[in-house]
Amino acid sequence: MRVIVVGLGVIGRAVSLGLSRRGISVVGLDARGPLHREGSSHGESRIIRTAYYEHPDYVPLAKESFRLWTRLERETLGVGNLLENRACLTVGKPDSEVVAGVVRAAAEHGLAVEQLDAGELEKQFDWLKSGQGWKGVLEQEAGILHADRCRQALARRAGELGADLRFETAVREWGSSQLGVWVKTDGGVVEGDRLVLCPGPWALGLIGPIAKPLRVMRQVSGWTEMAGGVPGGLPVFFFDTHEGYFYGMRAADGTGVKMARHYGAPECGDVGEIENEPVLQDRLCLEGFAHKHTPGLCELGNQETIGRMEVCRYTLSPDRHFVVGELPGHCGLAHVAGGMSGHGFKFAPAIGEMVTACLLEGKRPLEMFSPGRFG
């Protein structure tokens, strides 16, 4: 069997690796270079967590992803460490659905978590400021993924196992027939037996009607700089505030903290509408959160708490769950793995295995990921 994978962000690379591990011939295509920063999976770091507030059904996938990232790290020693184990602190207002979701997922799957009231939070974590009646949950099965290294490791290992990954190869058209699938590029036509589309924020131009409900959201990460650096034991954190969701983690070089808003920005119908550079409002948004809720992690005397910034793009499904499975109308020949909705990076290796099992064994992904669920 020959499988064509279109889109080689973190998901496309993970799918390529999953298939290559099973001895499948893989041709991967991407219009951009291997280190481009226009999509959703570039950058310094991502959080990985297990007590998943979004839905308890993600917990087994998170556990499998931990195992697979660790395996990949062993297999690609020259790339550097991919996964850094670190506790995750979730903090929220009294009616926080996020905190309640973490507790629910932990209870359903028997995960050990520590619940904290506002006083305990500020006593144990003197860098934060919550609010009256706020609460928190601390889980140990979490950490930081070094995102660019993860992308590099996935591509390297897939290549070692025989995957032919072709960057700077734009896809112009694709289709299926009784003979299989085909993809037209500027360099010619590539033919195969199956097709997996991993389009990221370019879904609208690649997967047809299924993409219509999907939206693209611009998100900006910013970095503080702290004299003396940040304590090595700082947990990754996720705050459900009255102003929205925010998250953060120790910067890779230890000199500051990376933080970002999660959701809350305008939703666009096309990635071409996204502004590629950070603007003043992005800085003010992040500084507002930092000053109000994590004052101990920023130099409040500086004119600019946030130094450098970087733009990322979420591809959102209406229910914020992934879109993984067969594309309707192609007799099982075309599949999609997209709509990761701003929380898919950590699951990439497990999604790669999920797509592989779907193609080779007929195993259906979780129903909540079904591409046809939006009608």
Give tens-digit pLDDT for 66-109: 999 999 999 999 999 999 999 999 999 999 999 999 999 999 99
Average pLDDT estimate for 213-232: 91
Tell me whether residue 317 is exposed, middle or buried, using C-beta atoms within 10 angstroms of its C-beta: 0 to 12, 13 to 18, 19 or more: buried
Buried b / exposed e over 258-294, threshold 16 CB at 10 Å, is bbbbbbebeebeebeebeeebeeebbebbbebbeebb
Q: Is the pLDDT of residue 303 over 80?
A: no
Q: Indicate the pLDDT class of residue 225, thresholds 50, 70 and 90.
A: confident
Average pLDDT estimate for 240-264: 96
The angle at the Cα of 273, spanning 267 to 276, to the nearest 5 degrees, equals 100
End-to-end CA distance of the chain, in Å?
Answer: 31
Average pLDDT estimate for 309-320: 97
Q: Indicate the pLDDT class of residue 139, thresholds 50, 70 and 90.
A: very high
- Looking at 190-194, 231-235, 263-267, which range is the least confident one? 231-235
Q: Is the pLDDT of residue 374 over 60?
A: yes
Q: Indicate the pTM of the whole model.
A: 0.97
By percentage, how much of the chain surpasses pLDDT 70? 99
For 232, the token pair is 């090595």
CA distance linking residue 155 with residue 164, whole number of Å: 10
Tell me whether residue 375 is exposed, middle or buried, using C-beta atoms within 10 angstroms of its C-beta: 0 to 12, 13 to 18, 19 or more: exposed
Residue 298 is given by DSSP the state S
- Considering the four listed CATH numbers 3.40.50.1820, 3.50.50.60, 2.130.10.10, 3.40.50.150, the one that applies to the domain covering 1-81+146-211+319-375 is 3.50.50.60
Q: Indicate the pLDDT class of residue 301, thresholds 50, 70 and 90.
A: low
Q: Is the pLDDT of residue 372 over 80?
A: yes
Q: Indicate the pLDDT class of residue 300, thresholds 50, 70 and 90.
A: low
Residue 9 confidence (pLDDT): 98
Going from N- to C-terminal start, the domains of the chain cover 1-81+146-211+319-375
Tell me whether residue 303 is exposed, middle or buried, using C-beta atoms within 10 angstroms of its C-beta: 0 to 12, 13 to 18, 19 or more: exposed
